[in-house]
Each structure stands twice: as C-alpha cells, then as structure tokens.
A and B are shown apart, each in its own frame.
Chain A
Amino acid sequence: MAQHPILCVPETLDPSLLLALSQAGYRLEQCASDAIGDAPTELLAALVSGRGGLGDALEACRAIRAQGAGSVPIVLLVNQVDVAHLADLDDLIDDFAILPSSGAELLVRLRRATGGQDASGDSTIVSYGPLKINTETYQAVIADRTLDLTYMEYELLTFLASNPTKVFTRETLLSRVWGYEYYGGARTVDVHIRRLRAKLGEEHASLIETVRSVGYRLGQPSWGERTA
C-alpha cells in the first residue's frame, strides 16, 4: 500500500531531521517554499520550516492549503522569537516546534498532528470508539455498519475523527475541509453535521457534539458517561 508522503518545505531543511523522519519510515517529498504548486496534493502531512523567516513559511502554509490539500496537517518549525505571532493561526497550522528541534520531538508532533497515524501499515485507519475510517479505501464504518457518505461528508467526518475531542469553529472547518473558496457559507457546516448525524443513526448521532456558540467536536474527553 502506497503511503502518502510528508511534504518538507523548504528543501534546505535540517538533514538530521529528514534522516530521523525517513528512519521512522515516513516517505518524504522536498519542495522549495515558492514551488508548492508543483508539489503532490495527496499528503500525510506537511512540515514547514520558518528558520529563514516566518513570513515565507506562512506563505508556504497558505499555498499548501490553497492547492486543495486543505485538510492536510501542517507542523511549523519556528524560531523562538516568532512564537508570539502564532496566536491566531489555528486555521493554518496544526502544531509547531521551536527551533532547533530534535527528531524525537518532531516525530511526536507529527503523530499527534496526523491523528495518531504513524509511518507503519496502520496509518490508513482512523478510529474513535465505534467509528473506523479507512482512508485508503474511503470507507467509514460505525459499529460494523458501512456508512454511505458523500465526498464532503466523508472528508468532514475524517477530519473530525483525526482530531478527536478537539473543538473546531465553523470557520475553521469550512477552511480546512471545504477550502476557502466554498460557495455555501458557514451554515454549510451545520447542514453537513446534521447530515452526518442522520447517517450515523440515532444511536451514534451524539458522537459529533455541538459545543454551544463555538463549534463542533467528535467525541469528548469524558466520552461514555454521557447519554444523548
């Protein structure tokens, strides 16, 4: 099974980090920060270094998001002095590490950012409770029942399940799952959540929780104690 690569930007990334990633079994694809347009769009994650300046790195992140890889997890490497500028960038990046960063730290952050997927053979299964999604075959199963999902429903469910218990605003979901150019407006998210709940069925509909006046999350920290 061909695993999607990690996009490493820019190609001058610290060779010791690249070595750590490839030794852990990840496929790597290197790319200059101004050539994102030529990079593959099917990615496991992206690793972007801001060593040469935060501005260029963020441009590269936006370029990755813009070219249809909206839901790809991005881990940003930043200089200590730039950390304060990351406050409002939840839509753009999933995690960051401060330079200089160790290979071990980076592996942990990548595992977290990709929803627990590692470089091994199980990387195509995203699961949470009774829900299992095979990202290779695009099939989602709830308690042994295969769900008949449309593409966007599948993308939304996979995104939420890859980041369980984390709350996302509608805007974040819209930009991460649909891409910025989407037509339907922010209410689209509510509509799709309602559709997903309908398809999950009464018993499992509460797997996706509404967090009042914030957004949505899949599962919750104390999952299992609550009745819908």
Chain B
Amino acid sequence: MQQNDYVLRTVEERGIGFIQLWFTDVLGTPKAFHITPQELEGALEEGMTFDGSAIDGFSRVQEADVLARPDASTFQILPYVGSGAEIARVFCDISNLDGSPFEGCPRHTLRRVAGHAKEKGYTFYVAPEIEYFYFANLDPSTPPVPLDRGGYFDLSPGDRASDLRRRSVQVLEEMGIPVEHSQHEDAPSQHEVDLRYTDVLTMADTVMTARLVLKALATEAGLVASFMPKPMANVQGSGMHTHCSLWTGEENAFADPNNDAGLSPTGRAFIAGLLTHAPELTAVTNQWVNSYKRLVPGHEAPVSIGWARANRGALVRVPVVKAGKLQSTRLEYRAPDSACNPYLSFAMILAAGLKGIEAGYELDPEMVGASGARGPLPSNLNDAVDALEASALAHETLGTHVVEWFVRNKRAEWGAYKSEITQFELDRYLPVL
C-alpha cells in the first residue's frame, strides 16, 4: 500500500528514531507506546497487540488483549520534540484480535457515527475553541497560581504566557493544524486557541494533538497548561465551544437565506435534536465533577437548554452570518469543556443532530433573554450520568460497553467526591454549627 510505503520511506529518509503510536482511552486521556523503525512495517501491516485491561474503559471480562492498528494517513513528525533523533506519531484504531473494531475505541465510535452521516449524504465539520489556563505551579495541594494576576501591569510574566501561546500556535501550524486565531481570554492567565474547521474525525485527532502540544511546550517553558474546566472560583472556566456545520457536497446544509435566522429546515431540525437530547449528552461533553462548577450562571457558560443568535447563556448559539457569507452558516454548541473526550463528544453531538433530522423534530422559538428555554442542563455529574444511563441515543451511539463502563466509572467518581469534606464546608459551618 502506497500510504505505508510513504511512511516507511519518510522514517528512513528523515532518520526518525522512534514512532509513537497514539490512541485514546474512554475518558479522552492520551495514551501511547513507542516503537522503533524496525518494528514499524510489521505494526502498519498487522497492528501491535497489547493488554488493554489496564486502560480506562478497555477492560472486558473474557479477553484482555487488543490490537492497535496505526492509521498511516495520520503519520506526522513532531516538530516540538527536542533535538537528536526525530520522533513521529501515528494515531491508532483499536481492534479485537480478529480484526473487528473494538467497541471501547473512541475513534471507532466517532468513525461509525460519521459514516452514518455519510450514508445520508452529509459531511460533518467542526471547529472547536479550546480555552485553557497557564499556571506557574502544578502542586494540587495549593491553589493554582496565574501568571498575570487580575490584569495588573505585571509586564514580564504576562508576556511570557502570550509568547508561549504564540510559539505554540506556530508549532501547531507547522504540524498542519491551522489556527483561526488565538487570544488572551477574560480570566487572568486564561488563553484560547480557535482551530479552523475540518472533518470531524480529523478534528478529534487534532484536539488531542493540540492539547498535547500546548502542554508539552508549557512544560518546556517551566509552566503548566491546564484544561481543567474550572480551576479557579469566580472567574470563567475553560469551555470548548464547538462550531458545527453539515455539508452535502459543496452545499452548506444548514444555510437558508430566506429564513430569519438563516437556517434551513435541516439546520433547525439538527438544533432541535441537540436541545432535545442535551441532558443525555452532558455527561460526555462535561465528564468531570469539576465540569459542573463551570456550568453556572454569570460566567458566559450555558445553563439553559435553548438556542439564540446573540445570547451567550444559551446552549446553542447561531452566529449571525455576514451578508453573502452563507457558506459560513453554523451553530455553536457551548456546553463542552476543554477536558472532554473529543471523539465521544463529537459523536454524541452529531448523533443528536442527525436524530433531530431523521425524526423531524420541531425547533423551539428562539430564547429571548433568559426566557424560552426548555429547562436547565444537569446541575451536577450525578444527574448527568442518570440522564446518560437512561438514554437510548447514548446506548445506540456509544455502545453498551462504553455506556456501562462510563456510568460505573462516573458513579465511583461522584461517590468519592460526595464523601469529601470541602474547605467551603469547614469555613462556613465549623465556626457556627
């Protein structure tokens, strides 16, 4: 196969010392093993067997071994990894030993949903805005230290973060990850990198890559890049607002110049699907106890299930498109945070939207201020997990293996959290009760 040949020749020509085989567990944690160039040909042809039982969400009762199959089209030299022998990475699909797709592989889940869209003649494009913080410390026993405190004229440390962000963007571009723009966000030490749209599977890979690059370069600079949804109280959390559009060939299937909001019936039904199934999606797009500290009023995070053109508290925003720019018609799903599993989050978003189209859901009227919403998003992880567990759409999209494992894992997380005595309680209750 010519693609494999390309990879093997490039490894040889460029003197690549190691190849990292990347994959993702069910929670979106990046995983890798390293192989030498001598092993690469065999890995490309037959895959690499490994024991999956130690990977979150991969464990099964009967058979522990799974196969990592490199996707040669994702072969990329990592320009940010130090001097000496160069390192390249390849994303892997995880399969069973008989070659069938492994049900716990998030990349496979997303590929399946994207394939479902494709059967209906659609291609799904997404463009996430990744928010994150730079901190000076990584000692969880003390609160995180921002680099620019409250926007004082604290010139040198502030510049350090912005320089680092700019350098990171440059590395992303060198890796073929176009960045639409990047900026300092509202909270102290918070930054945002907006990625240019691409097809959904490539974008999920890209989000994994971008997070790794941002973290690696921060570490190199003696800092920490954190995607924790809400690292500091009373300032904005880190969301991953996701711009979505659906295409039939060269046509934007969401666009209709004759509609008030510029939305076609397909676009309206897609949004209706998102609103209808939003509570079921939330455990996936916001998968940590901490995620729900971000989803509170007053910090530009969505709390109400509704859609609007201008209201940033709405779950779905339909950005107003400039005249003559119909092709950029899109919706912005505002719930996901930067610590989600991008494969499973995108899979659920797409599946909910497609469901809306297939079942012909009617779209609610646009939210006006805070009114017109269907109701609130789940207010904590436990409620969100309940909604996921009861969701036919989630079982259909993620598969029973993933749903069951995820529910077990998240109930355990919630249980551990619930038994904690927090500083809040000590401060508030100990002196008076």
Contact = CB atoms under 8 A, between A and B. Distances in A.
Contact of A148 (B115, B174, B197, B202): B174
A183 B75 CA distance: 18
Nearest to B10: A138
B354 to A, nearest CB: 16
Most buried by B among A153, A170, A184, A201: A184
A227 interface: no
Interface in A185-200: 185-188, 191, 194-199
Contacts of B77: 148
A195 B172 CA distance: 10
B72 interface: yes
B199 A191 contact: yes
Contact of A42 (B2, B9, B74, B76): B2
Interface string B61-79: 0000000000011111101
Given A137-B13, A148-B174, A151-B72, A194 B6 contact: no
A180 interface: no
B75 A150 contact: yes
A186 B72 contact: no
B93 to A, nearest CB: 14
B177 A198 contact: yes
B137 interface: no
B122 to A, nearest CB: 8
Given A150-B76, A194-B178, A198-B178, A187 B125 contact: yes
B176 A153 contact: yes
Interface string A136-158: 01110000001011111110000
B299 interface: no
B414 to A, nearest CB: 38
B425 interface: no
Contacts of A198: 173-174, 176-178
Contacts of A191: 196-199, 202
A170 B250 contact: yes
Contacts of B250: 170, 186-187
Nearest to A183: B118
Contacts of A103: none
B74 A150 contact: yes
A151 B7 CA distance: 8
Contact of A146 (B7, B14, B76, B199): B14
Given A139-B13, A183-B118, A194-B196, A152 B177 contact: no
A197 B196 CA distance: 13
B125 A138 contact: no
Contacts of A187: 123, 125, 197, 199, 247, 250
Nearest to B198: A191
Interface string B92-106: 000000000000000
Contacts, number: 79
B10 A139 contact: yes
B140 interface: no
Contacts of A196: 176
Given A148-B79, A151-B75, A138 B9 contact: yes
A44 to B, nearest CB: 14
A202 B117 CA distance: 36
Contacts of A188: 199
Contacts of B249: 185-186
Interface string B1-39: 011001101100110000000000000000000000000
Interface in B159-216: 173-178, 196-199, 202
A203 to B, nearest CB: 13
B245 to A, nearest CB: 9
A149 B79 CA distance: 11
Interface in A169-190: 170, 183-188
B31 to A, nearest CB: 21
B389 to A, nearest CB: 32
B199 A183 contact: yes
Contacts of A199: 173-176
A220 interface: no
Interface string A82-97: 0000000000000000
A148 B175 contact: yes
A116 interface: no
A41 interface: yes
Nearest to B9: A138
A170 B176 CA distance: 19
A137 B10 CA distance: 7
Most buried by B among A41, A139, A154, A194: A194
A85 to B, nearest CB: 26
A5 interface: no
A42 B250 CA distance: 31
A164 to B, nearest CB: 22
A137 B9 contact: yes
A185 B247 contact: yes
Contact of A195 (B9, B123, B176, B199): B176
26 contacts: A42-B2, A68-B2, A137-B9, A139-B13, A148-B76, A148-B79, A148-B175, A150-B73, A150-B74, A150-B75, A150-B176, A151-B75, A152-B73, A170-B250, A185-B123, A185-B249, A186-B249, A187-B125, A187-B199, A187-B247, A191-B197, A194-B178, A194-B196, A199-B174, A199-B176, A201-B174
Interface of B: 2-3, 6-7, 9-10, 13-14, 72-77, 79, 114-115, 118, 123, 125, 173-178, 196-199, 202, 247, 249-250
- What 9 A-B pairs are tightest by C-beta distance, nearest first? A185-B123, A195-B176, A148-B77, A198-B173, A184-B199, A191-B198, A151-B6, A194-B178, A186-B250
